[in-house]
């Protein structure tokens, strides 16, 4: 008996279940090589405490709905495993992999999760076990190294662009405009915050602040004032991770040891009000930007399915210690190749916006726009009932 | 020469330009009765300072895009006219109506705007002018009196429902859940905040707080704690207008004299953290809920077009001092009749959620759900380029 287990880890995206869908579909095409498809509940946690579910028990209709279901259907975790792969937590994982005759392990996640994936691949190799470990890239921050982009980013970018587009039309129609500061996800990378640069001049933010460039509060105030005086309103896109002196009392720390972000727009608005005496509105897209299914990009969906499929195919070929990556062949027409990359190169590295992608705080470069444009292409049609997108609802039958 | 002028007033919606579209289309069908279609820039302001544009100069393609363009294409205002209709500001309006041979005046707005509309209708009657004034209902708050619902509310509700649906899937997948407090627009009425009650139990908020019911902070804390302990996370929908002791230092006042809302979720989250020591996340849908075109309800769009058309037809029949209202014939199947209502009954009255529509803080009643369900039905397909919804871009040729 040879089984597979699928793990979803870190922050969810609107297509995180779509790559799982691709993996399930591919696995179902190989019943002689894969007896059971298991899901580990709450990321690696399920493998530590022996909490797996049998995907074979789920209805086909519910599996189809994974294509439009945000959030990790298996649950997720932000738990970071110990550095020492001989720690007892790893022993428990190995014990459960053996107990359930698991030969194929898939870890779908971002930077920190790929670190988990990498460590696990090292350990099974060291122990000489007949187990393969494959990573599936995912992060709306788009900061995974070695790959052109990460699954989930295109759809999040599509939401952010379209939400800013709508918001700008609303913001512009008042006689007395405001300074709108829109906070977009991105701790260390500004990929997502820069996305609205793709908008036409009528709705494009006039200013962008991303973590890759040093944030100068005084210059920010000068720039905002200038834009407001010229245009009668201001629309400013900022990454949640930009660094300025803040009231840190309320800041919390997540399971990976990172400060929980949010509230930067509100804090900056207070500063603008105090210093410039201008009316403001802080807008934070919060969880909606990574979850809203009506903005799934067709490119993102299709690539997520292909990635899940390739992960399973690669595992069946015995590949291990790899993550699926995207290599861009061309942007116009958009052509991408899926390849494998050594996890050691990916784990804990970060991809950031390069200086050549940004002209200054008012504009990204053609290089960035040519990069982004094809990713947000194509609309998906959602299955709805009473005007509400249907969400997968799994039975989650526990594996004994 | 007989011309018409169209006014958009108050907070925009995602279909405010759709009723304008309906009015334009109907007016174009009567070239012998309506010579020119004018738009008043920034609500009534354009009629006060003689700032009108000629819609006849706009390209047909741009007019079609009104169907998916949020924000008021003509600009809006929150200016409240003086109570005394003999104030000089009214004289200026009359002067400009005469100057531009305007016979038909359309005011598209909410409560305060219908008050403006009403006053104007009284004045032209008093002066014995051959001018008719018709109101077109609009407000995502859905608090206009005398009508089953207001244009814009169905689409805003559809966004809010689908955003909460997605957010719930995301919120539920973490091992250590949070208390998510979602702030939804609605100053005195909870129509919009209650909308996610339409969701299935898997993604429905467990608690709802609307302005129609007295908010008891202590009971709120008891309820949140209970839900969190039972389910491992909490999802709470609140109206921005609920009343609890807050830091009012940062509150501002808008042009109609109302305190500018927002930040209630963040304030409540701080209280939950302090008092219950639970992790929280405040989510505020902000302007996106009233502007996001991908969630326009087909029912809302169709009714907006019909309302604009009927407004023009009624004006041509000499009707004045009326607002278009919706009378519901049946909910299942959904059947609605458009009628006219005397503006005196509408102006400054408010429609609120009745006690029979809400069971308690955990659930709305069947009555409410049967009311809401048909309104959010039907999806629209947007014209997109590069994955971005196209927005109308008017030339705005000034009327001399």
**A residues 127..186 contacting B (CB < 8 A):** 158, 161-163, 165-176, 180
- For A79-137, the pLDDT digits (tens) are 889 999 999 999 999 999 999 999 999 999 988 889 989 999 999 999 999 999 999 99
- Look up B141 and say whether it is catalytic: yes
| Section A19-27 average pLDDT | 98
In whole angstroms, give the CA distance from residue A105 to residue A41. 13
Kindly give the residue spans of alpha helices, DSSP state H, lying in B205-318: 217-231, 264-276, 288-291, 298-316
Cβ atoms A204, A196 nearer than 8 A: yes
**pLDDT score of B249 more than 90:** no
CB contact (8 A) between residue B387 and residue A158: yes
Locus of tokens 């709120």 = B220
Whole-angstrom CA distances from A183 to A237, A240, A283, A371, B284 are: 6, 6, 6, 22, 12
CB contact (8 A) between residue B70 and residue A198: no
Of A170, A169, A160, residue with least CA distance to A196: A160
| pLDDT value at residue B250 | 45
| pLDDT value at residue A79 | 86
In the numeric block, which tokens belong to residue B146?
A: 């005398």
| Section B195-215 average pLDDT | 97
**pLDDT score of B289 more than 60:** yes
* Least confident range of A43-57, A343-357, B137-151, B330-344: A343-357
Collect all residues of chain A within an 8 Å Cβ-Cβ radius of residue B173. 8, 12, 71-76
Collect all residues of chain B within an 8 Å Cβ-Cβ radius of residue A250. 270, 273
User: Strand A234-239 and strand A280-284: pairing?
Assistant: unpaired
CB contact (8 A) between residue B288 and residue A283: yes
In the numeric block, which tokens belong to residue A360?
A: 């200054």
In this prediction, does ipTM exceed 0.85? yes
Q: A122 and chain B: CB distance < 8 Å anywhere?
A: no
pLDDT band, residue B258 (cuts 50/70/90)? low
CB contact (8 A) between residue A379 and residue B384: yes
CA atoms within 13 A on the CB side of A55: 30
- For B273-283, the pLDDT digits (tens) are 999 999 999 99
This prediction has a pTM of: 0.96
CB contact (8 A) between residue A175 and residue B45: yes
Distance from the B167 Cα atom to the nearest Cα atom in chain A, whole angstroms: 6
- For A214-243, the pLDDT digits (tens) are 999 999 999 999 999 999 999 999 999 999
Collect all residues of chain A within an 8 Å Cβ-Cβ radius of residue B388. 161-162, 165, 198-199, 376
**Nearest residue in A to B173, CA atom:** A75
Mind listing the domains of chain B with CATH numbers? 3-151+295-349+381-389 (3.40.50.450), 154-291 (3.40.50.460)
In whole angstroms, give the CA distance from residue B263 to residue B251. 10
Cβ atoms A16, A8 nearer than 8 A: yes
In whole angstroms, give the CA distance from residue B207 to residue B105. 44
What b/e sequence results for B60-75 when a residue is b if at least 16 CB atoms lie within 10 Å of its CB, and e otherwise?
eebbebbbbbbbbbbb
């Amino acid at each position: 008996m040879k089984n597979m287990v699928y793990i979803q880890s870190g922050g969810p995206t609107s297509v995180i279940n779509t790559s799982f869908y691709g993996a399930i579909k591919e696995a179902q095409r190989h019943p002689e090589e894969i007896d059971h498809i298991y899901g580990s509940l709450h990321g690696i946690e399920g493998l530590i405490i022996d909490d797996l579910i049998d995907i074979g028990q789920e209805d086909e209709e519910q599996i189809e709905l994974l294509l439009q279901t945000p959030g990790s259907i298996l649950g997720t975790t932000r738990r970071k495993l110990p550095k020492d792969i001989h720690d007892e937590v790893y022993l428990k994982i190995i014990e459960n992999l053996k107990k359930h005759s698991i030969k194929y392990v898939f870890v779908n996640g971002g930077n920190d999760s790929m670190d988990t994936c990498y460590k696990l691949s090292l350990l099974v190799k060291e122990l000489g076990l007949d187990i393969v470990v494959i990573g599936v890239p995912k992060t709306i921050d788009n900061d995974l190294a070695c790959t052109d982009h990460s699954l989930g980013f295109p759809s999040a970018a599509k939401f952010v662009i379209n939400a800013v587009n709508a918001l700008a039309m609303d913001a512009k129609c008042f006689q007395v405009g405001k300074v709108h500061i829109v906070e977009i996800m991105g701790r260390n990378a500004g990929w997502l915050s820069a996305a609205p640069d793709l908008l036409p001049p009528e709705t494009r933010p006039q200013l962008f602040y991303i973590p890759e460039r040093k944030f100068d509060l005084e210059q920010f105030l000068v720039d905002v004032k200038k834009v407001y005086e010229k245009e009668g309103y201001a629309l400013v896109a900022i990454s949640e991770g930009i660094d300025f002196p803040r009231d840190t009392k309320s800041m919390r720390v997540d399971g990976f040891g990172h400060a929980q972000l949010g509230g930067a727009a509100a804090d900056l608005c207070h500063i603008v009000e105090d210093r410039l005496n201008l009316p403001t509105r802080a807008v934070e897209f919060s969880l909606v930007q990574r979850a809203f299914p009506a903005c799934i990009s067709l490119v993102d969906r299709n690539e997520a399915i292909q990635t899940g499929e390739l992960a399973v195919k690669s595992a069946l070929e015995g590949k291990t210690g790899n993550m699926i990556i995207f290599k861009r062949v061309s942007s116009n027409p958009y052509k991408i190749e899926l390849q494998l990359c050594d996890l050691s190169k990916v784990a804990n590295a970060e991809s950031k916006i390069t200086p050549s992608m940004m002209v200054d705080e008012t504009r990204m470069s053609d290089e960035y726009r040519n990069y982004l444009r094809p990713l947000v292409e194509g609309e998906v049609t959602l299955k709805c009932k009473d005007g509400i997108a249907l969400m997968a609802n799994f039975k989650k039958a526990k594996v004994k």
